[in-house]
Amino acid sequence: MHGALVEILILLASALALGMLAERFRQSAILGYLAAGTIVGPNVLGWVEAGERIDLLAELGASLLLFTIGLEFSFERLKQLGWRVLAAGALQIALTATAGIAIAMAFRLQFGTAFALGSIVALSSTAVVARLLVESRTLDSTHGRRAMGILLVQDIAVVPIVLALAFGRSGGDLAAIGAAALSTLLYAAILIASFALFVRVIVARGLGNRAMERNRDLSIVFALVCALGSVVGAELAGLPIALGAFIAGVLLGGSRFAGQIRADVAPLHTLLLTLFFAAIGLAGDPAWAYRNAVLVLAVLGTVVVGKTMLAAGALRLAGLKGASALVVGAIISQVGEFSFVVAESARGDGYLPEDLFRLVVTVTVASLALAPLMVGAANRFAATRIERDPQGDGVRAARAKRTADVILIGFGPAGREAYSALPTELQSRTVVLESSPQGHALARSLGIEAELGDARRREVLEHAGIETARAVVIAVSDPAAVAAITSLVRSIAPKAGDRLEVIARARYHIAEHEIAMQGAAKVVDEELLVGRALAGHAADAVYRRAVSDRHGHP
């Protein structure tokens, strides 16, 4: 245990250092995490060995990422992907795998080895792409949703690929393979149905009760139980565990608690995901890559360019036109983390000799290192070329959420009064953030767009649209919470002073200065207003009494 903790500490510390270095040079921190794993890994410094504990933590990190992404993709939003995107995903796998098999067999490799290589190349990284799309705020764009749709099809395809490799090695006939596939589908259906029932009953009655409201830690534990339970269920069903976590997230994504759950698990998700990328880097071998640089670069270039063009072609064959097809192709041009699963299975089944396995690992790590650059270039291309095509299919999709001009935090008596006093046209462009399920339910019952979540969490504010809002009204009563929210808003949009104003409530006069120092443009001093109101009523009473006395009334 002591040695494992030391290795995890070394891995995290090196990931932190190189992640900060990558960000300083305006690159994704993912590049730093991958480099950190390679440097401290067994093939360079040898400080960290790729053991079962680290692999487990890394796999949990990828699963938790897909759980949080699933929270964004409710069934309603999955329907919006359309059959064309799902068909494009199947076509992309078929075209890429076929091309990989053809190229491998041209080099006189056996069909089993060629099939393994084609399958490995056909898969992309859901974890990496999802993280990059979230960071660049393009998960809801046209190309972002299409890329996620294709990636989901790829994740599902891992199961039949591994089954095919296993049965091919063991000599199983088509009937045996079909029976195994049918059994897996049956287990998957049972898993989804069981978890749907769990969410409909337990979530609806559990998260809404008073115990959950009094102790926010319980909602965090609940979220982790959901995520980890789906992982265990998926493994028992023979499905990729990350896919199970995604399904759990999708089922929870339709609930009113999705935003707060996403914020609650964010710190743990960040920690495990960092370990995931660093653990991938452990497989890197710079010395071997240097000795075989020409081969590695040739294969890497073929994979990246080939997958980009084949994916774009698949989208067009599925009937999706426009420049976004090329953008999606570039986004999914890397080789993914599930390719390691297929590669390990293929090596265990005797399809991949050691040198070929090492080539696969090196190209995979290199393509993942290129992923931030490819996604960044794709987003820049989409922002220029696609947005200039208002009539074509490449137009950027409207965000699933409406852009809010006002974010009203707190829907207690003060918040309700503030909302009622807003002009009608602004009420329709206001999002209410409320941490109490009762307050959230009340706002929704009045037809107000509302989200359940703690505004002291960055993810909650971002999901509510803080980056496009013009005003944030903080109507909660706790002065410490008001100051914390104000500071967080300013840290998210530090240079938006001319566009975004924070109007905050100060319940006590002594808190006014602190809230103003945190960046509030206007602070409504509650004690000052009460004092003025009291004085006004007192003066009115005196003047009315004086008038009454002059007219001789008692």
Q: What token pair was written down for 436?
A: 């109490």
Domains of the chain: 2-386 (1.20.1530.20), 406-538 (3.40.50.720)
* Distance of alpha carbon 455 from alpha carbon 473, whole angstroms: 11
**C-alpha to C-alpha distance for 14 and 32, rounded to whole angstroms:** 9
Q: pLDDT for 341-363, tens place per residue? A: 778 777 777 788 878 888 988 89
Question: 273: buried, middle or exposed (CB in 10 Å: 19+, 13-18, 0-12)?
Answer: buried
Mean of pLDDT values over 130-140: 75
For 77-99, what is the mean pLDDT? 81
Of residues 471, 468, 464, 508, the one with CA closest to residue 486: 471
Mean pLDDT value of segment 257-266: 67
Encode 456-477: b = buried (16+ Cβ within 10 Å), e = exposed.
bbebbbbbbbbebbebbbbbbb
Which candidate, 482, 465, 478, places its Cα nearest to that of 520? 482
> Residue 282 in contact with residue 35, Cβ under 8 Å?
no
Is residue 434 classed as helix, strand or coil in its secondary structure?
A: strand
Per-residue pLDDT at 220 exceeds 80: no
Nearest to 372 by CA among 27, 127, 24: 27
Q: What is the C-alpha to C-alpha distance for residues 18 and 264, in angstroms, rounded to an integer?
A: 26
Please tell me the least confidently modeled range out of 188-192, 273-277, 483-487, 492-496.
492-496
Percentage of the residues of the chain whose pLDDT score is greater than 70? 78
194 contacts 233 by C-beta, under 8 angstroms = yes
pTM of the model: 0.63
Are 245 and 63 contacting, i.e. CB atoms less than 8 angstroms apart?
yes
CA angle, corner 514, sides to 510 and 520, nearest 5? Answer: 120
pLDDT digits (tens, 9 = 90+) for 262-314: 667 777 767 777 887 788 788 778 888 889 999 999 999 999 999 999 988 88
CA torsion through residues 505, 507, 509, 512, sign: negative
Residue 255, pLDDT score: 64
Instruction: Round to whole Å and give the CA distance between 68 and 126.
Output: 12
160, 339 in Cβ contact below 8 A? Answer: no
pLDDT of residue 98: 92
Q: pLDDT digit string (tens) for 383-432?
A: 776 544 443 443 344 344 446 789 999 998 899 999 999 988 888 889 99
| pLDDT winner (highest mean) among 19-33, 232-246, 425-439 | 425-439
Angle between helices 2-24 and 29-40 (to 10 degrees): 140
Dist CA 369 CA 392 (whole Å): 32
Q: Could you tell me what percentage of the chain is helix, strand and coil, using 3-state DSSP and rounding each to the nearest 5? A: 70, 5, 25
